[in-house]
């Protein structure tokens, strides 16, 4: 790990600036602070959270020295370092510490750039965003709502002056805003904000930069919000979740909630950047905490299932397939229990997990069980896709593709063709709208369809399918 961090260009710049700052601090210490902020952000994006925090801490200390010597020039730099430190603390499941830091940043920025809305949004708006997220992590949702709303007004004022300003910060704020609205039972409002964020990404993705970076994330969030709006338009589930959290107040489980959530997110981030081995520790620790929380209140059974699924995914990525299957099987049992009580709420989640479970069963040479799992997955996901297409057509297509591959491998070309054709029909419009996200998946479905057509002596159609796949 140390070698990987040392190889980063941001690390090399920090080392260079550290040497220069030792020789001439007046000239280079501010540049060292900037390079430490860049390194902190880079390490955080790669999942090196403890190391990111170290860089953030050092940046704060150095910026504080500069601010004490020249407050007019470096007070805002110090506040920006505090904003970054708050983000790293929150990601490590320390929201109370993060809130103290983000509050100090807000207090500093409130006195700056009163007549410059663009600069004010970049400083105060970003700090308020972090403060709102910290408040939400501590369950202070109404206070978080007021703070994030203030940040939103600042960004709107800045973008009224310059539409291209602070796009990344604005998208981050919209992401956090719609998540908070969903927790406050504002399902329709959350959906509206998620749609606005995604539309903004679609409009700006062609320019690269933040619009493209946020495209997939905003699409996933939009799907989540559509599911919630369809399933729970009055926000009763959100109310129940808030009441559930309130019943834990004063217990160790309540204190563990922020850390359990942060660890689960950290494991997912690490796995997302191909660091499954490093993800195992936070995944296991998150699972331990969710088991303890679930033992206090079974209302957290869905989060327990999610933690088990994350551990299974880590083990799968590490090719520890039997252990991955053991974990997936436990998660299936929990989701089956939940589905029996509320099929509309959990049936699709069970279907999604069964697709992955089927893959593991086939890898472990248990094709009969794998076939049963993929059949059930299709049965569960088809009605979900009919109810909320934008949310579940992607998952249904994945299940159908898995079904087609299994059928083809069992010398069943006709069922394989039917499933592959349906998967292609679902993936084609997705690939047209989001080529960077779905063109490869469409190509795989087309090639599976072509193989089935060949088995059925329909060579011309098979050739057309392969040509379409090759053109993607």
Task: Please choose, from the candidates 114, 93, 113, 103, the residue with its C-alpha nearest in 3D space to the C-alpha of residue 143.
Answer: 103
* Same domain as 387, residue 329: no
Q: Give residue 305's domain range.
A: 248-341
Q: 236 pLDDT exceeds 90?
A: no
* Same domain as 384, residue 337: no
Give mean pLDDT, residues 109-127.
84
In a domain, 184, yes or no: no
- DSSP assignment, residue 299? G
Please provide the average confidence, as pLDDT, over all residues in the chain: 93
Q: 230 pLDDT exceeds 80?
A: yes
In a domain, 329, yes or no: yes
CATH code of 444's domain: 1.25.40
Residue 313 vs residue 409, higher pLDDT: 313
In a domain, 155, yes or no: no
In a domain, 253, yes or no: yes
* Same domain as 388, residue 323: no
Domain end, chosen from 341, 364, 394, is at: 341
Q: How far apart are the first and last CA of the chain?
A: 37
* Same domain as 469, residue 396: yes
In a domain, 233, yes or no: no
* Same domain as 395, residue 316: no
CATH code of 256's domain: 1.25.40.10
In a domain, 156, yes or no: no
Q: 405 pLDDT exceeds 80?
A: yes
Task: Please choose, from the candidates 113, 134, 135, the residue with its C-alpha nearest in 3D space to the C-alpha of residue 123.
Answer: 113
- How far is it, in rounded angstroms, from Cα 355 to Cα 312? 13
In the chain, the number of structural domains is 2
In a domain, 454, yes or no: yes
Mention every residue, 6+ apart, whose C-beta is less than 8 A from residue 278.
1, 47, 270
* Same domain as 414, residue 469: yes
Domain end, chosen from 292, 313, 341, is at: 341
The pLDDT tens digits for 295-317 are 998 889 999 999 999 999 999 99
pLDDT attached to residue 281: 95
pLDDT attached to residue 185: 74
The pLDDT tens digits for 190-225 are 999 999 999 999 999 888 889 889 999 999 999 999
Written as one string, the DSSP assignment of 400-437 is HHHHHHHHHHTT-HHHHHHHHHHHHHHHHHHHHH-HHH
Q: In whole angstroms, how large is the CA radius of gyration of the chain?
A: 25
Give mean pLDDT, residues 244-257.
86
Domain end, chosen from 314, 341, 368, is at: 341
Task: Please choose, from the candidates 428, 434, 435, 430, the residue with its C-alpha nearest in 3D space to the C-alpha of residue 449.
Answer: 428
In a domain, 2, yes or no: no
- How far is it, in rounded angstroms, from Cα 456 to Cα 111? 74
pLDDT attached to residue 4: 84
pLDDT attached to residue 247: 85
């Amino acid at each position: 790990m140390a070698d990987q961090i040392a190889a980063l260009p941001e690390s090399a710049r920090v080392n260079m600036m550290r040497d220069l700052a030792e020789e001439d601090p007046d000239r280079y210490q501010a540049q060292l602070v900037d390079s430490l902020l860049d390194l902190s952000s880079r390490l955080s994006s790669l999942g090196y959270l403890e190391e990111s925090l170290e860089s953030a801490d050092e940046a704060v200390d150095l910026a504080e020295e500069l601010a004490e010597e020249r407050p007019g020039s470096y007070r805002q730099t110090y506040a920006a370092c505090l904003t970054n430190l708050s983000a790293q603390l929150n990601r490590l499941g320390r929201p109370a510490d993060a809130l103290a830091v983000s509050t100090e940043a807000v207090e500093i920025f409130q006195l700056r750039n009163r007549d410059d809305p663009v600069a004010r949004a970049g400083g105060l708006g970003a700090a308020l965003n972090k403060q709102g997220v910290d408040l939400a992590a501590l369950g202070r949702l109404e206070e978080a709502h007021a703070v994030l709303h203030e940040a939103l007004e600042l960004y709107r004022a800045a973008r009224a002056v310059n539409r291209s300003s602070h796009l990344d910060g604005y998208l981050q704020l919209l992401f956090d805003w719609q998540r908070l609205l969903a927790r406050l039972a504002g399902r329709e409002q959350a959906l509206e904000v998620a749609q606005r964020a995604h539309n903004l990404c679609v409009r700006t993705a062609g320019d690269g930069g933040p619009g493209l970076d946020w495209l997939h994330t905003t699409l996933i969030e939009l799907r989540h919000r559509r599911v919630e709006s369809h399933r729970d338009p009055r926000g009763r589930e959100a109310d129940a979740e808030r009441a559930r959290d309130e019943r834990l107040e004063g217990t160790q489980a309540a204190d563990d909630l922020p850390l359990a959530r942060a660890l689960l997110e950290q494991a997912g981030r690490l796995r997302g950047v191909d660091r499954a081995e490093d993800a195992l520790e936070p995944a296991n620790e998150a699972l331990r905490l969710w088991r303890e929380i679930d033992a206090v209140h079974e209302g957290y059974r869905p989060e327990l299932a999610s933690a088990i699924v994350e551990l299974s995914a880590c083990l799968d990525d590490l090719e520890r397939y039997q252990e991955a299957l053991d974990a997936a099987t436990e998660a299936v049992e929990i989701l089956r229990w939940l589905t029996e009580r509320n099929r509309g709420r959990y049936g699709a989640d069970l279907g999604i997990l069964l697709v992955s479970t089927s893959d593991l069963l086939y890898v472990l040479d248990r094709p009969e069980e794998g076939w049963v799992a993929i059949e059930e997955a299709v049965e569960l996901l088809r009605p979900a896709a009919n109810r909320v297409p934008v949310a579940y057509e992607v998952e249904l297509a994945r299940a159908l593709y898995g079904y087609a591959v299994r059928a083809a491998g069992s010398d069943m070309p006709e069922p394989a063709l039917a499933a592959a054709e349906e998967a292609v029909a679902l993936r084609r419009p997705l690939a047209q709208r989001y080529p960077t996200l779905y063109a490869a998946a469409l190509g795989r479905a087309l090639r599976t369809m072509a193989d089935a057509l060949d088995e059925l002596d329909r060579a011309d159609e098979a050739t057309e399918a392969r040509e379409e796949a090759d053109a993607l």
